[in-house]
Structure 1
Amino acid sequence: MQTIYSCIHDIDIDGNQCIRKEVNQKDASDYTQRLINEILGNPNRKEYKITSERTEVVSIVLEASKQSLIENDNADLIALRLLDKERDRQKDVNRLRIEIRRGSLFQSLIQEDDHFYYVITKIENVDILDIQDLYKKSGLPYENKSFKNCLFKIADDGEIIQIFLSDKNGPIADYWDNLFLELEALSSDESNTESLFRIVSAKLKKEIEKISPTDYTLYRNQALGFFKTQEKFTIDDFLNYTFGNQNPESSQLDIDKIKESISKKIIDSGTDTEFTIVSSAIKSRKFRETKKINNVASIIIDGYDEEIKTNVQSVEENGDKYIRIKSTDLETFNRFKW
């Protein structure tokens, strides 16, 4: 990778100003490469597309890759745009006593083989102590302290190949992706919800059901609960929710291996791995599972049951096998009261 340009701006919302700081280009190059690797390797990144080549940030990014150069004035314009959007958002949330996290904006243009990377990332403000003159100076953190990232991958003919955003605080803030960058998510939250639910449901069935039907029922129930009760999807959150609270009933299951397999499948699918869950996007029949009990009756597991092990149980009496189900419907209970 060849670093063409890097800069950092202090975004001072209170003082309503952006201050461009000098950065050591060798440090900036090392930092940018670590940052690019982290963004591309982040399983919780989200892919975006442009709404127009004429929007402010996108037009500057495309011009920089075309000219293999970022003008200081253009880098300043991007920083000033972020200041403007953060200032507006701060006014909106003042009544809620919320303060937008303060930080600096780092920008860098990198060339690698036949494409460019343009990195725009918000990082923690960091002061370093220069050993030579003992003065505090603004610098780049040795460890990555970024919390909002944007990575443009651009072909050498000027075509945008991919755009990835990620946010260490959770869902990507609207002022960052929509108002500041003017980008649009490549996939909707609805389509992501439906797609990821289908993927994890199929993997749970494939990896667990034949080995241990009991564990399949329990872990599937937990997975349903995640999509029914949680606000956002990330791979780690899903795996922790589904597998973290209970040990398998069967000693033949290698849960760590299963979690790794599910994680790889999700990443390889190309679907966004961080998004807001829209449970209504999953058709109710996909939550439902029907199992035959005997020649005249079947049991339908219709969604998530927080107390499934208490409400539905297998029991044996005098050599006969029964499914015992806790009833909360009096009419149905009385129908079988003989």
Structure 2
Amino acid sequence: MENNLVSQISLNEDSINLKQYVESLVKEILEQPNKRIYEFKEGATEIKNSLIPILEKTENIDSIIETNAKRLLEKETRTQDRMNRLDIEIQKGSLLHLHFNSEETNKIIICKVEHDEILSETSFDLIKGLNTKKKVFKAILLYFDDNNSITYNYVFDKNSSKYWWDDFLELNQKNDDDKNTEKSLNEIDKVLTPHRVKYYADYLVVRNAVIGHYRTRDNFNFSDLLDEVFTNYVPINPEFPRDAIINKVRELPSKKGFDTQFRISKKGINKRIQNKIKLANNLYLSIDDYVENLKNLIEPFQDEQGNKFVKILSTEGYETLKGLLRNDSTNT
């Protein structure tokens, strides 16, 4: 789909390069950790109606696939008209329909893949082609039983574009964004809470990072959370059971029933930090909510005489305390 036109691409099915591209594409989608479960809307929807003919390889399959492509172009064109004022352009690409059998299960993938334009080394003409490195940016993966009924339905789209899952595919979200946000955050919090007493410093930093991850992003991708918050975390206490926590968090989506990809609902973020750390009699360090780079702002240390201190990087606090302590010493 290019320049608001749908054109069919003739493929050499015997091409080794094409076979490798498709195999790599299927592998990428099947192994993608970030996905969301959807259900088709009730009634005879267009994309849903095209699935059985694709499974049965009917004679008019080319016409059916072309109709799907025209449908996507229509939805993208309408969406683009609304997005022009935001200076956002919907990426052009190819719409592929793949029917295959793996693990004794019929599967269909409908995916939009990325186009590239390159200069020919010989003629210096612009040549359009499929990007072999960055392939998929939107896809639906469907599983079928022996009666050709849909058993599972996953959508992959890092941006959770409504025109893709709602307008084009005509799907309903099984879990809405509010539910996904609240449930995932609550379940992760339950994994961390048992370590609050024994590993308080690590608990505080990791929990702060989790809440910050939700607060500072529009879209949730579970693998990003695992990598950025947990896998890359260097514990303060070397005995902090980071790997065991990672394993428990990794099991949460399937065990507790939330999606691994969704748009973060800010009203669904019902957690606050709210921690008070006692420094001395009547003196507390209060952390009221998410603090960016908390680990880099506060540092406990001990001098050669064994005195223990807490260093806090704060220009504002420095100026306030400097004036406060100066006045206090003057009054005494």
TM-score interval, smaller chain: 0.7 to 0.9
Paired residues of 1:235 and 1:263 also in contact (CA < 8 A): no
Asked whether 1:232 is paired with 2:219, we answer yes
Q: 2: CA distance between counterparts of 1:321 and 1:49?
A: 58
From 177, 189, 203, the equivalent of 1:189 is: 177
The aligned residue for residue 37 of structure 1 is 27
Q: Give the percent of matched residue pairs that are identical in Structure 1 and Structure 2.
A: 27
Q: 2: CA distance between counterparts of 1:29 and 1:324?
A: 59
Asked whether 1:153 is paired with 2:139, we answer no
The aligned residue for residue 178 of structure 1 is 166
CA 1:310–1:171: 2 relative to 1, 3 Å: closer
How far the C-alpha of 1:213 sits from its partner, in A, is: 1.9
CA 1:124–1:196: 2 relative to 1, 3 Å: same
AA partner of residue 280 (structure 1): K
Moved more, 292-301 or 97-106: 292-301
AA partner of residue 25 (structure 2): L
Paired residues of 2:114 and 2:130 also in contact (CA < 8 A): no
Q: 1: CA distance between counterparts of 2:35 and 2:41?
A: 19
TM-score relative to the length of structure 2:
0.74
CA 1:260–1:94: 2 relative to 1, 3 Å: same
How far the C-alpha of 1:31 sits from its partner, in A, is: 3.9
Q: What is the alpha-carbon root mean square deviation over aligned residues?
A: 4.3
Q: Secondary structure at the match of 1:271?
A: coil
Q: Secondary structure at the match of 1:73?
A: helix
Q: 1: CA distance between counterparts of 2:186 and 2:168?
A: 33
The aligned residue for residue 250 of structure 2 is 264
TM-score relative to the length of structure 1:
0.73
Q: 1: CA distance between counterparts of 2:165 and 2:27?
A: 21
AA partner of residue 230 (structure 1): R
Moved more, 262-271 or 40-49: 262-271
Count matched residues.
309
CA 1:126–1:305: 2 relative to 1, 3 Å: closer
Q: Secondary structure at the match of 2:224?
A: helix
Q: Secondary structure at the match of 1:21?
A: coil
- The Cα offsets for residues 11-50 of structure 1, whole Å up to 9 and x where unpaired, read as 02x2x32111122335555544433332232111111110
- The Cα offsets for residues 201-228 of structure 1, whole Å up to 9 and x where unpaired, read as 122334x546522111221122222223
5 Å matches for 1:1-338? 11-12=1-2, 14=3, 16-26=4-14, 30-65=20-55, 67-69=56-58, 71-112=61-102, 115-125=105-115, 141-143=131-133, 145-167=135-157, 170-206=158-194, 208-209=195-196, 212-242=199-229, 247-253=234-240, 255=242, 257=243, 260-261=246-247, 264-269=250-255, 270-283=257-270, 288=274, 302-306=288-292
Q: 2: CA distance between counterparts of 1:252 and 1:163?
A: 41
Q: Secondary structure at the match of 1:250?
A: coil
The aligned residue for residue 4 of structure 1 is none
Q: Secondary structure at the match of 2:115?
A: coil
Q: 2: CA distance between counterparts of 1:129 and 1:242?
A: 41
Gaps of 5+ in 1: 1-10, 329-336
How far the C-alpha of 1:308 sits from its partner, in A, is: 5.6
Gaps of 5+ in 2: 318-327
Q: 2: CA distance between counterparts of 1:37 and 1:21?
A: 22
